[in-house]
């Protein structure tokens, strides 16, 4: 497989200016001719990791199997969300599902689903192999298992995941460039997961949704100059490596001084793109359309909580998408 980091580094070595090139030149100073061969290499990486027909069929079969199983046994509907329907999952990515029950509490519903999956695990004539069923008793109740050796995470009554899916689909369609947003997510997820080992909320690392919002902000800020996934990765690394994480958080509308918390006051980003305000208006309208409605037991007065990494959820302003990041990870990455 093509080395993603090597693609980014070699970009600085333009044939005519190799001796004088800075170690990390400003992305805008790199010529189109220098980008082209390495964008081709990055496209090869994306081609290797993007969903294939067989992986799509395999995951679709698992989703339909779990949907039928829970619908027939528990009587509730199950919907996929996240990277699988968005088609931005990595080859060993998991499947996120949410089950909706009209009357049961999340805990009761989780216990019912767990019992069904454990029963299926014991069946020797089960349609699919189910194993390692676990119940994660956290703020968001979760049942995890393996189905055909694919990790399946089932949450309960979580409409937020579906809202996020719709939001990101709209953004990808609006930003265009042949689904550059989705392709860039795949390349950057691959770099974060396979090379830098910083992706994985369950291990005190960055969550996929947090990463998607960070990538989206790069699109918002530099859309005009982005023509390929490698250019997006380069901008991503260049911008966030210089970002003052100790004193600021990030929102889709600009940096947020941590001194302003619990108020979320975004600073206007430094950009000269004439279409920036149009994109900002679109993002605000789109975010408002898919804003996550509070559940009955949630308090609307909950404030944004400062963590080691601070990323504002555009669909739920009091939700810090960086909350999964541990102090150890943040210190090691600084």
Residue 202, both tokens = 């369950």
One domain, residues 308 and 183:
yes
Last residue of a domain, one of 102, 128, 157: 157
One domain, residues 311 and 222:
yes
The angle at the Cα of 216, spanning 218 to 89, to the nearest 5 degrees, equals: 120
State the pLDDT at residue 241.
93
CATH number at residue 68: 3.30.460.10
One domain, residues 93 and 205:
no
One domain, residues 153 and 166:
no
Last residue of a domain, one of 131, 157, 183: 157
CA distance linking residue 315 with residue 144, whole number of Å: 26
Q: Give the total number of structural domains in the chain.
A: 2
One domain, residues 204 and 245:
yes
CA distance linking residue 73 with residue 310, whole number of Å: 41
State the pLDDT at residue 19.
38
One domain, residues 183 and 211:
yes
Q: How does pLDDT run across 227-239, given as a tens digit for each residue? A: 999 999 999 999 9
CATH number at residue 37: 1.10.1410
State the pLDDT at residue 230.
94
State the pLDDT at residue 271.
76
CA distance linking residue 71 with residue 295, whole number of Å: 23
CA separation, residue 156 to residues 15, 60, 139, 141, 167 (Å)? 55, 20, 11, 7, 20
Residue 63, both tokens = 């989703």
One domain, residues 293 and 326:
yes
- Mean pLDDT, the chain, integer: 88
Cis preceding-peptide flag for 262 (omega within 30 of 0): yes
Q: How does pLDDT run across 29-80, given as a tens digit for each residue? A: 888 788 889 999 999 999 999 999 999 999 999 999 999 999 999 999 999 9
E-assigned strands of 19-166? 77-81, 95-100, 130-136, 142-147, 150-156
Last residue of a domain, one of 157, 182, 204: 157
Sequence-distant (≥ 6) Cβ neighbours of residue 74 within 8 angstroms: 99, 101, 109, 112, 113, 116
State the pLDDT at residue 204.
86
CA separation, residue 334 to residues 8, 242, 245 (Å)? 20, 11, 9
Q: How does pLDDT run across 150-206, given as a tens digit for each residue? A: 999 999 999 999 999 999 999 999 999 999 999 999 999 999 999 999 998 888 889
| Rg from Cα positions in the chain | 21
One domain, residues 131 and 242:
no
Write the DSSP assignment of 148-204 as a string of letters. Answer: TTEEEEEEES-HHHHHHHHHHHHHHHHH-TTTHHHHHHHHHHHIIIIIS--B-GGGT
One domain, residues 147 and 174:
no
CA distance linking residue 172 with residue 183, whole number of Å: 10
What is the domain extent for residue 123?
53-157
Mean pLDDT on 100-115: 88
**Helix, strand, coil % in the chain, rounded to nearest 5:** 50, 15, 40
- 246: Cα separation from own chain's centroid: 23
One domain, residues 192 and 103:
no
Q: What are phi and psi of 179, to 5 degrees?
A: 60, 40
Mean pLDDT on 2-17: 42
One domain, residues 260 and 308:
yes
Task: Answer yes or no: is pLDDT of 17 > 60.
Answer: no
Helix (H, G, I), strand (E, B) or coil at 233: helix
One domain, residues 16 and 95:
no
């Amino acid at each position: 497989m093509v080395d993603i980091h090597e693609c980014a580094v070699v970009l600085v070595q333009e044939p005519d200016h190799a001796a004088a090139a800075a170690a990390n030149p400003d992305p805008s100073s790199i010529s189109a001719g220098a980008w082209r061969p390495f964008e081709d290499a990055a496209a090869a990486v994306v081609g290797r990791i993007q969903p294939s027909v067989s992986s799509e069929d395999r995951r679709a079969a698992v989703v339909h199997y779990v949907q039928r199983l829970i619908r027939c046994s528990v009587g509730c509907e199950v919907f996929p969300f996240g990277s699988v329907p968005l088609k931005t999952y990595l080859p060993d990515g998991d499947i996120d599902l949410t089950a909706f029950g009209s009357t049961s509490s999340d805990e009761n519903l989780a216990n019912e689903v767990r019992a069904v999956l454990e029963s299926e695990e014991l069946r020797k004539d089960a349609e699919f192999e189910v194993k390692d069923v676990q119940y994660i008793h956290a703020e968001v109740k979760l049942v995890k298992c393996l189905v055909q050796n694919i990790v399946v995470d089932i949450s309960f009554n979580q409409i937020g995941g579906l809202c996020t899916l719709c939001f990101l689909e709209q953004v990808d369609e609006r930003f265009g460039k042949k689904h550059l947003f989705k392709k860039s997510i795949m390349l950057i997820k691959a770099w974060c997961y396979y090379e830098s080992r910083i992706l994985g909320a369950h291990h005190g690392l960055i969550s996929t949704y947090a990463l998607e919002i960070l990538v989206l902000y790069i699109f918002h800020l530099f859309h005009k100059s982005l023509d390929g996934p490698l250019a997006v990765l380069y901008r991503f690394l260049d911008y966030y490596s210089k970002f003052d994480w100790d004193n600021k958080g990030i929102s889709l509308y600009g940096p947020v001084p941590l001194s302003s918390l619990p108020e979320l006051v975004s600073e206007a980003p430094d950009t000269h793109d004439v279409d920036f305000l149009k994109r900002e208006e679109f993002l605000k309208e789109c975010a408002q359309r898919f804003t996550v409605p509070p559940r009955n037991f949630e308090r609307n007065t909950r404030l944004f909580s400062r963590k080691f990494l601070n990323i504002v959820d555009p669909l739920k302003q009091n939700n810090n998408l960086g909350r999964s990041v541990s102090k150890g990870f943040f210190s090691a990455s600084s």
